[in-house]
Amino acid sequence: MPRTAQPKEPTSYEQALSELDRLVVQMEGGQLPLDQLLDGYRRGAELLEYCRGRLQAVEAQVKVLDDGQLKSWPAS
């Protein structure tokens, strides 16, 4: 059985998070066939890696803006 084309990289953190949320709901539903479950797990791992990378990039930018110090957000 031929594999479908590789999913493209997310265009934003929010888009990746939304897709990851949908995958989790589908996987938790317990109705996916095993091969789709495995594909969903792989895609979820890719999306999680993308989100972590984006968060680390933003954190690095904040450190630069704050002269190398990562400051805590004030509680509201």
The pLDDT confidence band at residue 1, using thresholds 50, 70 and 90, is very low
Instruction: Read off the pLDDT band of 8 (50, 70, 90).
Output: confident
Residues 15-74 pLDDT 10s: 999 999 999 999 999 888 999 999 999 999 999 999 999 999 988 888 877 776 666 666
How would you write the chain as a 3-class SS string? CCCCCCCCCCCCHHHHHHHHHHHHHHHHCCCCCHHHHHHHHHHHHHHHHHHHHHHHHHHHHHHHHCCCCCCCCCCC
In the structure, what pLDDT confidence band is assigned to residue 4 with cuts at 50, 70 and 90? Answer: low
Could you give the count of Cα atoms lying within 13 Å of 32 in the half-sphere of its Cβ?
16
Q: Determine the pLDDT at residue 2.
A: 47
- Two structure tokens written together for 41: 């797990």
